Homo-oligomer: A and B are copies of this chain.
């Protein structure tokens, strides 16, 4: 089964946005056994869109189209699809009600431009867009499936997961594809590969192992394809067990979830609470934790103590400590963690203080120097890291290192 992705809109072609949608779509399609043959980005131009559709349908069974569905003049995907399939328009009542209810909920008046979002080519199947006003349109034409979706990532992702992938799975006779992921942190990709080389070599041909490294974490993903789902399930679990046992201390969780979610789950199960004291990560750890529903059961909150004044007033770091050792030091980061533990009254606290860059480095403490501490009732431990010179990466790496350190501390406490 082959798919092609067509993204429509000038934003990508002038480089204003990076096309992250296509990579995400390719991943989820691969997960259900559909291979992406080509990804094409074209402009908001009728003839160009038609050419792309013509070319795609010569190669693929499913053509997934994103973008160009807004209410304004420059969005012409809907008109072009109607022309391509030689269809007229009808006003879709369900869509109109959906759009109306969105405007009512947001307490905004509707204009004709908004109502027009409910006009769809008369031969398409409308798939409602739960998160926006532009409906998704499914066409069974020319012996192929064409699906037109909004380009706004969260709208597209929701429609893909809830509507399109299930319909594709049901409509085509796809072999079973199973994945099992093990999340590791604190070990580099090459070391990890060496440590499990014999297990990797022993894998049967229908099970593949992928190393997916990402700033301080490596995900190991076993993927198998077979028509015998039960057998495949047993085999994948067998090899996952071997890998997890071998990598024991580096395994955060045997699941494809985010590192911080794994930590939240472990702490929630044990009834533990957490607070944060962040300097160079500037609220990023707090954000990672609180973006997960239910995080409030574990996470009480924290301080983003960017200035030294706030390190003192919010966390109780001593002025002498800051003077003598500086804000980026073992002493300060330990006082930050202990201060968070005490003032925010939680079972665990993590703290981070470092030089994210690009400025602020010194010969002693170059950009990328980051101290991280974890505190609980038993005491506080700190570790120094030397990351690179990219600000965003330093923030992300620091957050991952702090969460990995907390994860290991929680394991030791078992």
Contact = CB atoms under 8 A, between A and B. Distances in A.
Interface of A: 10-20, 22-30, 35-43, 48, 52, 55, 70-74, 105-108, 111, 113-114, 131, 152, 154, 158, 179, 188-191, 193-194, 200, 208-214, 221, 223, 256, 276, 278, 280-287, 289-291, 293-296, 299-307, 309-310, 313-314, 343-345, 356-359, 386, 388, 390-393, 395
A309 B305 contact: no
A287 B282 contact: yes
Q: How many copies of this protein are present in the complex?
A: 2
Nearest to A105: B386
Contacts of A289: 282-283
Contacts of A285: 283
Instruction: Rank and list the top 9 A-B pairs by shortest CB-CB distance, nearest first.
Output: A282-B290, A283-B286, A15-B27, A15-B26, A283-B283, A301-B306, A39-B41, A301-B310, A286-B304
A40 B13 CA distance: 11
Nearest to A305: B301
A27 B11 contact: no
Contact of A211 (B70, B190, B276, B296): B70
Q: Which of A158, A302, A357 has the most CB of B within 10 A?
A: A302
Nearest to A177: B14
Contacts of A73: 193, 200
Given A16-B212, A19-B22, A190 B284 contact: no
15 contacts: A14-B27, A15-B25, A15-B27, A18-B18, A18-B20, A37-B42, A37-B48, A281-B290, A283-B290, A286-B286, A286-B287, A300-B307, A301-B310, A301-B314, A302-B304
Contacts of A27: 14-16
